[in-house]
A and B are shown apart, each in its own frame.
Chain A
Amino acid sequence: MTEYYDLCVHSRPECADSPEKLKLVSSRYSFTNIAITNHSTYWQPLEFLGVISGIELVAKSSQMLRNLIGIYRDKVTILAVHGGDERINRVACSDNRVDILLHPESGTGNGLNHTLATLAKKNDVAIGFKIDYLWRHRGYYRSKLLSLQRKNFNICKKFALKIIVTSGAVSRYDLKAPREVEALSRFIGMDVTESESALSTIPRDIVNKRLKIVKSS
């Protein structure tokens, strides 16, 4: 049976639901595990150990992001960066301590180009496609983000970057079953095998890689 992972879920204290409740709901949807990646402004160490610990770093400048990576790298398994700003995207792609660059398209433009893609490939940074806007918004905003994500997906495909798809859930209602996420990923341009590996093998490899590094040190 395929193992599915969602590597960007927000829980208490940032959002309403507790990590244990989210784990319960996600296991109903046949997820093997989820990573709780609260934004760094709300981050607290997890008391519940049944989920993967993580963080989504929010930084206003390149220097601040470098400092935050240094502070949090040893404290969590999954270190993601809240993308959008061009400078932030660049620092995230050029640091091999970063696991995932989330939603690089949320700033101006699509936030990813051939230079950043080469850097991300070199440093083994995955690009995270957060699809919560597909049910949160309708109309122009949704179609705009969808077209930006399509552009980014083509770049990722060209440079053979690691891709993960995540719900970016902020509550139990935002968690979607893997089949639904795969169905929605088709709109970004992914075929069945691509969306399945973006939900299963690639996230699993990212988690295993970090756990291995922790064990060996």
Chain B
Amino acid sequence: MKVLPPTLRDNVRYVAFEVISDEIVKAAEIKNEILSATTSLLGDVGVTNLGIELISFAGQKGLLRCRNNRIEDVRSVLATVFRVKKFRLSVRVLGVSGTLAAAKEKYLLIEKKSRRETSFNIKRPISGKARKMNDSEIDIVPGDNKVIDRSDVGLVGIAIHDNKELK
């Protein structure tokens, strides 16, 4: 079939986003979660109005296509994505662009410093075992489970500056 002329096509925007979570998220999982969050928040008709579609997802960064006048709805949907499987996550919008090439160049090519796996005991400011860290932050499995139950997260986050021994 012939491709529609530009005047008859939908005006679209590309939303670049980043997933922040304890564990690595797969593309299929985040796709399902975004669709379920959209249906829950805006309903089936809302999904149609948004024209939302996941184009790519790799290295915890992704690209969504949507109608150009529905950006605010997409932002609110992404803010309500809460959990995949059993672990918490949050989605941060990196930016919005009018073309695929510009979105990739502006937002997806910038490499993020990844956290490395680690394993050592830590006593201050909270006792536990350090699991992941980068230059400024450490994620800890705490000895006391009550705090992670109250916050509904898997790991406790501290900044390196909290701990005088690691500075």
- Chain A residues in the interface with B (C-beta under 8 A): 10, 12-18, 20-21, 23-25, 29, 48, 134-136, 138-139, 170-177, 179-181, 183-184, 186-187
Size category of the binding interface on chain B: 35 or more
Compute how far the CA of A134 lies from the CA of B37 in the bound complex, rounded to whole angstroms: 10
- Chain B residues in the interface with A (C-beta under 8 A): 20-21, 40, 72-73, 75-76, 78-82, 88-90, 92-93, 125-126, 136-137, 142, 147-148, 150-153, 155-159, 161-162
B80/A13 in contact, CB under 8 A: no
A21/B76 in contact, CB under 8 A: no
Q: Among B40, B137, B148, B150, point to the contact of A21 (Cβ < 8 A).
A: B137
B147/A16 in contact, CB under 8 A: yes
Most buried by A among B89, B142, B159: B159
Q: Among A14, A24, A134, point to the contact of B79 (Cβ < 8 A).
A: A134
Selected A-B contacts with CB under 8 Å, 5 pairs: A16-B147, A18-B125, A135-B81, A179-B93, A183-B75
B158/A180 in contact, CB under 8 A: no
Compute how far the CA of A175 lies from the CA of B80 in the bound complex, rounded to whole angstroms: 11
A16/B75 in contact, CB under 8 A: no
Most buried by A among B21, B89, B137: B137
Compute how far the CA of A18 lies from the CA of B21 in the bound complex, rounded to whole angstroms: 17
Given the contacts A21-B157, A21-B159, A138-B40, A171 and B79 also touching, CB distance less than 8 Å: no
* Shortest beta-carbon distance from A29 to chain B in Å: 7
A18/B157 in contact, CB under 8 A: yes
Compute how far the CA of A23 lies from the CA of B136 in the bound complex, rounded to whole angstroms: 12
Compute how far the CA of A208 lies from the CA of B136 in the bound complex, rounded to whole angstroms: 30
A20/B76 in contact, CB under 8 A: no
* Shortest beta-carbon distance from A82 to chain B in Å: 15
* Shortest beta-carbon distance from B143 to chain A in Å: 13
Most buried by A among B81, B89, B151: B151
Q: Across the interface, which residues of B come within 8 angstroms of A21, CB to CB?
A: 137, 157-159, 162
A13/B72 in contact, CB under 8 A: no
A18/B159 in contact, CB under 8 A: yes
Q: Across the interface, which residues of B come within 8 angstroms of A18, CB to CB?
A: 125-126, 157-159, 162
Compute how far the CA of A174 lies from the CA of B88 in the bound complex, rounded to whole angstroms: 10
Compute how far the CA of A172 lies from the CA of B89 in the bound complex, rounded to whole angstroms: 9
Q: Across the interface, which residues of A come within 8 angstroms of B80, CB to CB?
A: 134-135, 184
Given the contacts A12-B125, A135-B80, A139-B40, A20 and B93 also touching, CB distance less than 8 Å: no
B157/A29 in contact, CB under 8 A: no
A20/B158 in contact, CB under 8 A: yes
Q: Among A15, A48, A170, A180, point to the contact of B75 (Cβ < 8 A).
A: A180
B150/A136 in contact, CB under 8 A: no
**Across chains A and B, which 7 residue pairs bring their CB atoms closest together, nearest first?**
A183-B75, A20-B159, A16-B151, A180-B79, A171-B151, A183-B76, A173-B90
Q: Among A17, A25, A183, A186, point to the contact of B151 (Cβ < 8 A).
A: A17
Compute how far the CA of A29 lies from the CA of B76 in the bound complex, rounded to whole angstroms: 15
* Shortest beta-carbon distance from A153 to chain B in Å: 16
Q: 13 other contacts beyond A20-B159, A172-B90, A181-B79, with CB at 8 A cut-off? A: A16-B157, A18-B157, A18-B159, A134-B79, A135-B79, A135-B81, A170-B151, A171-B151, A172-B153, A176-B90, A177-B92, A183-B72, A183-B79
